[in-house]
Amino acid sequence: MGQALLHVAAQQPKLQAIGWQRRDHDITVPDIARAVAQLGPDLVINTAAYTQVDKAEAEPDVAYAANTLGPKYLAEGCRACGAPLVHISTNEVFAGTLGYFYREYDQPQAGGVYARSKLAGEVAVRQIWDRLYTVRVAWLFGRGTGDFPAKILQAAAGRDVLKVVADEFGNPTYAPHVATAIFELVNSERFGTYHLVNEGWTSRFEWTQYLFEQIACSTRLEAITAAEWPRAVTPPPHAVLVNQAAAALDIRLPTWQAAVREYVESGVLTRTGGK
């Protein structure tokens, strides 16, 4: 997400974007608030997070440090210098009840440690600072290394059959599309909570099926249930987000199918060995 934001910002001559790396600016250290205040930026976008959902069950302190305390410190720094803050959150703050579609102000109900730490981060920044855009995304992809499409293609390599979960649903969301939408949102100066996801929703299985069609992958897919794929924590089965608030401002993302096609056409899979 950070890379996508820097790429979009570089295309806008009026913007000077600075990307902070963890080795130099660790958001889990309280002094990050002073560093933000001293820099005095016009805008801060927080894309830092602990995203290892299963591993978080064994490392709750690490997850909460990055996903809750870190955003809190950034909000303190933003408050000190008056900079608006864009905080990236996740669809996993919702329970994911089957058949339910979640709008921006529906009541969250987080499950595992990762989800609870992300929800706590939303609460923390909201308590500190009101010049805030909370942006929830879902099933984010775009780098071509650690994202779902690249991983699923690596898993398919050399196999005749690949098993993929068919009863978990969400919004595949392309990072470059989110980045563009974030800058449109900031230009609106309408603070609040937003769901910036590609239009439409699907299952992990159907997403994989569509991806394989685009690249002519010959591996045969077999649909399985989430119960047949044991994990340390069960993800929400139907945490499908609805973009209503941003759409009211005429900010919409393309369909997830168009996003997959653009992702494939970008060549990122070839460059990273995923194809």
CB burial string 98-117: b at 16+ within 10 A, e below: eeeebebeeebebbbbbbbb
Dist. CA 125–CA 138, nearest whole Å: 20
Tokens 């909000």 correspond to 75
Phi and psi angles of residue 272, each rounded to the nearest 5 degrees, phi first = -100, 5
Active-site residue, from 114, 174, 194, 263:
114
50 noted as active-site residue: no
Torsion of CA 268, 271, 273, 275, to 10 degrees: 50
Name the residues annotated as catalytic.
114
